[in-house]
Structure 1
Amino acid sequence: MNILSAITPLNNDYCEQIIDIVLPIQQIEFNVPITIQDQPDLLDIEKNYHQTGGNFWGAKHNELLVGTIGLIAFDKHAGAIRKMFVRKDYRGKEWGTGQLLLDTLIDYCRQNQIADIYLGTVDVLKAAHRFYERNGFTRLAKNELPQSFPLMSADTIFYHLHLTN
């Protein structure tokens, strides 16, 4: 079993490392036509995540950042998952990176009375769809999202999870 050293909150000191994970996965691995200009949130983690009442976490193996997940709180009791990405070599059940990141975010939501978690994703990320569905997320149509949900232009598939106590 492979062991991650930590899941820790990230701040603006990590912007460059976060971008180094996210962009290659989007652009090279999955051919999503998206640039850093389309994702200005990555240039100011503190403003776009922390100041909303959300947070941004990273999974580390030794000192290497290997995975990310962010939460934007967009309503008193609702949040949007953003930037859930894991380096290819650190994916899968043997690492559990994605699960640890998601569990950390869900624990944070429970502690902060965020009962509804939403996310948008793209069609090509089939493994991500299965992962969210295994974790209790249900698919919903774009027109079923809350009006205040922060839409990303690339997203075409949406999910929701309602947390119960």
Structure 2
Amino acid sequence: MNTQITYRQIGNEFSAAVIDLILPIQQEEFKVNVDLAAQPDLQAIEQYYQQSGGNFWGAFQGEQLVGTIALIAYQAGGGAIRKMFVRKEFRGKEWGIGQALLETLMTYAAQQRIRHLYLGTVSVLQAAMRFYEKNGFEQIPAETLPPAFPRMPADNIFYHRAL
């Protein structure tokens, strides 16, 4: 892990920086058909993530936000991973940002007695899919998701990991 990177919980005061990080990755880099209107959580981080017992974390190089990950605690014992994004020039094992963010989330989830993590992604994000699989997530059919799982319309691939 690169020592130039710091990790911390973030809230609504970082909404603009989160939007500036995530939207270009979704829309420009990966051509995912999603806009800000479909993601109201980005402008209300504390309400969507923290009030339910989840959280939102940022990876920073100095004051620049270079990565994010979020957890929705949607039911007792169940959590949904959301908003896992790392700025392109900060990806890869040499930085270790994605791994550190995921480990931060999983440690927090275990402390909150969340025993099952689920996530949705889109099939175009092949590197993300390999990353989750390397970290013990197993791909599952959409119909096996818990009924309370908060699905995103663009997601077409789903994963689960027991903690």
Q: Pick the TM interval, shorter chain.
A: over 0.9
Instruction: Name the % identity.
Output: 55
1:4 and 1:79, CA in 2 relative to 1: closer, same or farther beyond 3 A?
Answer: farther
Q: Is the 8 A contact 1:3 1:61 kept in 2?
A: no
> Once the 2 structures are TM-superposed, how far is the Cα of residue 62 of structure 1 from its aligned partner?
1.1
> Once the 2 structures are TM-superposed, how far is the Cα of residue 4 of structure 1 from its aligned partner?
3.5
1:128 alignment partner AA: A
Give 3-state SS (helix, strand or coil) of 1:139's partner: strand
Counterparts of 1:102-117 in structure 2, within 5 Å, are 102-117=102-117
Q: Which runs of 5+ in 2 are unaligned?
A: none
2: CA distance, partners of 1:113 / 1:2: 29
For each residue in 1:53-98, what CA deviation from the matched residue of structure 2 results, as whole angstroms up to 9, or x when unmatched? 1000000011110000000000110100000000001000000000
Q: Is the 8 A contact 1:59 1:67 kept in 2?
A: yes
Counterparts of 1:62-141 in structure 2, within 5 Å, are 62-141=62-141
Q: Which runs of 5+ in 1 are unaligned?
A: none
2: CA distance, partners of 1:2 / 1:152: 32
1: CA distance, partners of 2:19 / 2:59: 14
2: CA distance, partners of 1:161 / 1:62: 32
The Cα RMSD (Å) is 0.9
Moved over 2 A (4+): 1-5
Q: Which residue of 2 aligns with 1:20?
A: 20
- TM-score (normalised: structure 1): 0.97
> Once the 2 structures are TM-superposed, how far is the Cα of residue 3 of structure 1 from its aligned partner?
2.8
Give 3-state SS (helix, strand or coil) of 2:51's partner: helix
1:8 alignment partner AA: R
Q: Is the 8 A contact 1:10 1:58 kept in 2?
A: yes
